[in-house]
Structure 1
Amino acid sequence: MDKHFLMVFFLFCFIVAVTSLKCMTCHLRTRTDRCRRGFGYCVAQKFESCMTLKIFQDNVLQLSYMVCQKFCRDLTFDLNNRTYVHKCCKHNFCNLKV
């Protein structure tokens, strides 16, 4: 009985690990394309996807932010002479190139 339970449990963990969405994280990425804070990856939970927020001023990228985001949606808006661009995607590490 214990061997069967362990086998099923291992199989379940393997399936969950394989199907989990993984996203890049960087809480402060500069114009030089270097992550200054929070570099790594996150595993998206229920209703989460990979998200990138890019902030432009005068059409020049100032900084970006990458995380797993709940209820993410693509969005672009202007505020205080800056343009904020949210992009969402749903395959592993897709927010690295968004």
Structure 2
Amino acid sequence: MDKCFLLIFILFCFIEAVTPLKCITCHLHLKADRCRKGSGVCVAKKDATCMTLKIFKGVDLQLLYLECQKFCRNLTYELNDQTYVHKCCNHDYCNFEP
């Protein structure tokens, strides 16, 4: 009985380890509107995670971009009076924001 349980446990761990990461995609989401372009799901490749890019002008959200991103880094920077906020996460659909 214990050997059977151990075998099932190992198989479950293997399946979980090879299950690809799924992320929401949206290539053009303006302000409080819906996704205008690229709406769907991507499957992250090796070294990729789910990524959210938000672009703000002051405190107002101007654009939202969601995608699978290779070598993603959490990063915030300012350029031309806009703030760019990159967020990375690594579980299914973690970059989705209702």
TM-score range, shorter chain: 0.7 to 0.9
Q: Give 1:33 deviation, angstroms.
A: 3.6
Q: Unpaired runs of 5+ in structure 1?
A: 1-10
The 5-angstrom pairing of residues 80-95 of structure 1 reads: 80-95=80-95
1:9-66 CA-to-partner distances (Å, cap 9, x unmatched) read: xx9xxx38x7110000000011124100000000000000000000000110001100
Q: TM-score normalized by structure 2? A: 0.79
Between the two proteins, the alignment pairs up a number of residues equal to 83
1:4 corresponding residue in structure 2: none
Q: Which runs of 5+ in 2 are unaligned?
A: 1-10
The 3-state SS of whatever aligns with 1:67 is strand
**What percentage of aligned pairs have identical amino acids?**
63
Structure 1 runs, 4 residues or longer, greater than 6 Å off: none
In terms of fraction of residues, the more helix-rich structure is 1
Query: TM-score, normalised to structure 1's length?
Result: 0.79
The residue number in structure 2 matching 1:96 is 96
